[in-house]
Amino acid sequence: MPAKKTVAQKVVYASSATAKAAKKAAPRKASATKVDLDPQRIQKILKRLRAAHPDVVCALHHNNAWELTVATILSAQCTDVRVNMVTPGLFRRFPTPKSFAEAPIEAIEEEIRSTGFYRNKARSIQGAARRLITEFGGKVPQTMEELLTLPGVARKTANVVLGSWFGIAVGVVVDTHVLRLSNRLGLTKNTTPEKVEQDLMRILPQNRWIQFSHELIHHGRQACVARKPRCADCTLETLCHAKDKTWNSH
Ligand code: SF4
C-alpha cells in the first residue's frame, strides 16, 4: 500500500522554510520598493538578466526526473551545494524509486541527515517513491496536478521538475532568491511564494517562466545577495528602484 500523504507531512518543513524566507525577503514597511510594471522596464530586466546569465541551469545535480524530484525535496532549508554533496551517495545506495520504496526508512535518513529535517524528508521521499510505483508506473508524472499528489511535493518542487527536466512551463519557481529579488525589483509587493508566483505569471511572457527563475536565482547568489547586495556592480542597477536602500540595516 502506498504511504498515505498527510497534510502535516506535506507542509511541515515547506511551511517553515516559506515563512522564514518570506520574513527575510519582506521589505520593511518604511522602505518598501514601489511596484513598477512598466512593460518596457520589464523587457529590459529580462534582456539584461539573460545577457548576464546566459545558459544558466538548475544548480541541483541530477540525471533524471526522479533524481531531480528527490534533490529538490532535499533542498528545502538546505543549500544546493550540500544537496549535491549528499545525492551521489544517496543514488548509489538507492538507484531507483523501487529501492527507495523498499528501503528501511532509517537507511534513507542516514544518507540525508546532513540536509536537515531528515526524518520528514525521508518520509516524503519514500512516500513519493511508493506513490510513483503504485499510481504512475514508476515514472515521474508530467502534470502539476499529478505531481502535487506526491508526498513532499508542493508547487515549487513541481515547477522545478516540470521546468528543468520536462521543459514544461506551467508556473514560475519561487524560492527565497526569486522572492527577494522580485520584491527588490518592484515586480510584486507580495511576500508569499504563492502570490509572488501568480504576480510573475501575470507579468512575464510564458516562454520566459522557466529561465527567468534560473537567472534570478543566479543573480541572487552573485550580486543581489540578501545582505548588502552589490548594487554598484549590478547589471540591473539603472532599472532597480531598490538600489538606493540602506542595506546595512537588513
Ligand atoms: S541594483 Fe541592487 S537591489 Fe537592485 S537588483 Fe541589483 S543588486 Fe539587487
**How far away, in angstroms, is 91 Cα from ligand 1 center?**
38
Atom 2, ligand 1: which residue's CA is nearest?
231
Q: Is the CB of 48 under 6 A from ligand 1?
A: no
Identify the active-site residue in 10, 121, 175, 245.
Answer: 175
Instruction: Look up 36 and say whether it is catalytic.
Output: no
Q: Is the CB of 236 under 6 A from ligand 1?
A: yes
pLDDT attached to residue 244: 73
pTM of the model: 0.87
Q: Is the CB of 184 under 6 A from ligand 1?
A: yes
Q: Is the CB of 234 under 6 A from ligand 1?
A: yes
Instruction: Look up 175 and say whether it is catalytic.
Output: yes
Calculate the dihedral angle through the C-alpha atoms of 215, 217, 219, 221, rounding to the nearest 10 degrees. -150
| Residue 103 in grid coordinates | 528501503
Q: How far apart (Å, rounded) are the C-alpha atoms in residues 110 and 238?
A: 48
Give the contacts of 16 (CB within 8 A, at least 6 positions apart): 77
Q: How far apart (Å, rounded) are the C-alpha atoms in residues 206 and 216?
A: 16
pLDDT by residue for the chain (250 residues), tens only, comes to: 444 444 334 433 444 444 454 444 444 443 468 899 999 999 999 999 999 999 999 999 999 999 999 999 999 999 999 999 999 999 999 999 999 999 999 999 999 999 999 999 999 999 999 999 999 999 999 999 999 999 999 999 999 999 999 999 999 999 999 999 999 999 999 999 999 999 999 999 999 999 999 999 999 999 999 999 999 999 999 999 897 776 654 4
Domains of the chain (ranges; CATH) run 26-57+171-245 (1.10.1670.10), 65-165 (1.10.340.30)
pLDDT attached to residue 247: 67
pLDDT attached to residue 106: 98
What is the 8-class DSSP label of residue 237? G
